[in-house]
Structure 1
């Protein structure tokens, strides 16, 4: 990358191409999108950042959003950008388009930054402020390789990724007061929300190539994008009447998004990066991070978040609000949310993302094959202490059968949700067994929110099995009910084996006095707890949860007895 930090042609991204990694600029990534399998990114939360802040708005602004599903299907089935589209993208990122606005270190208009930004106290801070996994201020990760006294130096390609990551995911901590910001007081700005993505439970559909991933993340917009809707690098083309402050100036405002392009490239911080010369070349070592625009509400046209539908919201609150992912759970455990294709009407409940609903509609119109190898990447951050620090990163990816996204054809979706529910019920049965054994031994059950429960390890042991099931169900057609039934039987057998194995370990670890057990009085009733009784109740519960596996065992026992 040159001294100006040219993102168009410099080594901005790392692409996986033909099984090996290769540095590419923005134009190279787009022109080779049909050959690139995926982008190699430093953390899971970076994929939505790159798509939303860079690639999708460039593509949407120049090539426009498809007006209907047929137009989307024509683009997708072509498998790559046409010669005309590539020429238009090259012009867009060229000297006669917006190419000069994609320079990271430009003196007058640095990309996604404020030229000449100065702190009220005249100080700069370590560039570690942009990287949540590195110790900085109140954000002190337990396993950080660096402490705050160590100087972090980022290569320009890494620096731009973490810069955009901050615009999307930054914590809600106190920000440096900037000269020219009328809302800064006593050298700081308080009351900052997290970056816009910090409020969401993000789901990014992924395809076999970068081109397919871009199309899968492109919403169909029947009326087209609003003419006043512009990405942040074209802020000067927005009408003055919209009331948007320039993201290239220190002052900021609290406002709604003016459209999809504005939403995707929302500038939630005012930033300036500083460089130093090293033996390895130009590096970014210092930064100013000040308050930026505050998004008043996540609009319902946000393509990536899942939703919580509220039937009777509070006054002036919307019926739908973003739903965050739950920390510590694999993505498949949240399939009931990802596959919630119908809007709840009579009660509160989840509602899946706009893009997953769109993929279901595209499958219904046969724009996508029923056997298409669709993936879904989930990501989020868990914040702590008034959202001023990052406590945990949430990230997972899983194969997703396209047929399960059909809104009107629920046979596969119901089968998948049954499998997830069976795993959840078996996990609860293990926790109940553990608590009964603790009571039988003279102890108390584990509190609901404390202690290491056997269910956590049990669900983790099923992870690979569920992923194999999801991959296998990609190939199941609507007329292959027998194949689906075999898949569900194999799943139940795996759950049965894992659950009984874990139960055996719990029973082996119970002390001898658990065999005799004890009687516990609760209210006016006496309850007897013994290890044998607990084991019997557990197996009876497992038989109810896994009827196919239980029937298969009974048939095998009868056959063995007859022999």
Structure 2
């Protein structure tokens, strides 16, 4: 037997820095003594939070009904003795549902589940980075024929991951599933988290992270709403397409019917075979139940579309490049476009009303999977983490303006470097690099900008109420951006052919290296106005000193 309530299976970083696995009971009751959950890959973090910790906490304590109630929980910094007792009692009540290998009711699985063919699959089917069937990742050390097994601790993590992120397309037909045909089930979507870009706010401790991921529910949780381990319909091979019944149902959605097959080995209990079949299909992602994604708002959607649709993260971008979306608060005057996640909107309201400190060390974790070939394989995994000043979530704050300006300046400078590259190539008689082919200078430039941007965001966290320090930070930011831009520009010039200095005529225009560099300099001055003014002031001061001499 392996019970997740009391067995240590979740990797956790403790206050003294060491990492050790903990049980569900320890992770919840002593959440204030744990810093974070350093699970790898990053897509495991929302799986553990959503499938176990958050619904268990909400089941024991209920959801806060007002911003004031949320604020009180956050300010405490830890669960009170009364709350710890409620969590302990709730875990004891639910303990039997968390047996990972129970014959009749294994946690998040279907007891006795069998494929119609009677076959089982390697447990590597649960892990996107390991070759299985059509999913053959590049640069993997494992082949499908390689014997692969998981400890009960890791099997539990990847079980949750499969419910959240599993690939789509054809699944093994389960014996007893009336909707299976010829031993297969077709038309399966990906797991629910695979359908959007996940955004998880995190605090200085696991307790803060749990509270930051807790939505305010004014009317309380619905009596029909329950987590998967209390839902009778997830106990058999059959499945259905339906809407989520509530927050707990959405958090613990069973997108697959799974059975882990353990065996005793000389090294203890291990899992090396698994049965994975079709599970429930969510018919619509509803904003009131889904708090971990940003949205795209359309006032006049097409027929059959909802006004709000979940957004995915863009491959190849740093998380800070999407800050315009993460800070899109959805005011009426904003019209169609992005809207940030419900949790970030809630944190913004809390900051505006003074219910959270302006220097709150908020960290955003973003993750997602990029699927290919009918979403039946995984092409890429996206993950990032960045500090976010909570004051930036307040409309019209100076910090918000600074953050958005910095992101826009980095983007405009990157585009200016792409235009410089295109002009230098035209001066040589070549065509510019196509946007979807080759490597453009903006890529290497934005990579160089990444560390300074994160340093700026961290500084704005600490100086969110000091306008003078914010302005000093922006001046320093523009100096760094200007220096990095000119380094890249001079590298482009050094790599240009000597022919580019003579120039060429094309479509009535003259393209010459000197003209291209001059144009780039003017554009950079228009983007980085503080740096241009400071440089002009230094130049004027030097001239004045020379005149006096």
Q: Does TM, normalized by the shorter one, top 0.5?
A: yes
Residue 75 of structure 1: which of 73, 76, 80 is its match?
73
- Counterpart of 2:295 in structure 1 is 307
Identify unmatched segments of 5+ residues in structure 1.
237-245
Aligned counterparts of 2:171 and 2:522: Cα–Cα separation in 1: 57
Which among 134, 139, 145 is matched to residue 141 of structure 2? Answer: 145
TM-score (norm 2): 0.97
| Mapping for residues 232-381 of structure 1, pairs under 5 Å | 232-236=228-232, 246-301=233-288, 302-343=290-331, 347-381=335-369
Post-superposition offset of 1:46: 1.1
Task: For residues 50-76 of structure 1, give each alpha carbon's deviation from its aligned partner in whole angstroms, at most 9, with x where no partner exists.
Answer: 111000000111210001011111111
Is 1:487 the counterpart of 2:483? The answer is no
Indicate yes or no: 2:208 matched with 1:212.
yes
**Structure 2 counterpart SS, 1:397:** strand
Alpha-carbon separation, structure 2, partners of 1:139 and 1:559: 64
The CA deviation at 1:345 is 5.2
> Counterparts of 1:10-159 in structure 2 under 5 Å?
10-17=7-14, 18-94=16-92, 97-159=93-155
- What SS does the aligned partner of 2:541 have? helix
CA distance in structure 1 between the aligned counterparts of 2:469 and 2:83, rounded to whole angstroms: 43
Cα deviation per residue 1:308-353 (whole Å; 9 max; x = unaligned)?
Answer: 0012101232110001110110010000000001245564200000
Encode CA deviations 1:276-314: one digit per residue, 9 max, x unaligned: 222221111011110000000101121111000012101
Label 1:167 to 1:545 Cα distance change in 2 as closer, same or farther (>3 A): same
Structure 2 contact 163–253 (Cα < 8 Å) conserved: yes
> Which string of whole-angstrom CA distances, capped at 9 and with x for unpartnered residues, describes residues 497-546 of structure 1?
0000000000000011111121112xxxx111111111111111101110
Between Structure 1 and Structure 2, the one with more helix by share is 2
Runs of 5+ in structure 2 lacking a partner?
none
Separation in structure 2 between the aligned mates of residue 539 and residue 400 of structure 1, nearest angstrom: 31
Counterpart residue number, 1:436 = 423
1:536 equivalent to 2:518? Answer yes
RMSD over equivalenced CA pairs, Å: 1.1
1:7 aligns to 2:4 (yes or no): yes
8 Å contact kept, 1:311–1:346 = no
Q: Which whole-Å deviations, capped at 9, do the CAs of 1:215-244 have from their partners, x for residues lacking one?
A: 0000000100001100000113xxxxxxxx
User: Partner residue of 1:239?
Assistant: none
Q: TM-score under structure 1 normalisation? A: 0.95
Separation in 2, partners of 1:462, 1:199: 30
In the alignment, the residues of structure 1 paired with residue 158 and residue 21 of structure 2 have an alpha-carbon distance, to the nearest angstrom, of 17
SS of the aligned residue for 1:272 comes to strand
Please give the alpha-carbon distance, in whole angstroms, between the structure 1 residues aligned to 2:392 and 2:13: 29
Distance 1:327 1:365 in 2: 35
Find the partner of 1:513 among 474, 499, 503: 499
Secondary structure of residue in 1 paired with 2:531 = helix
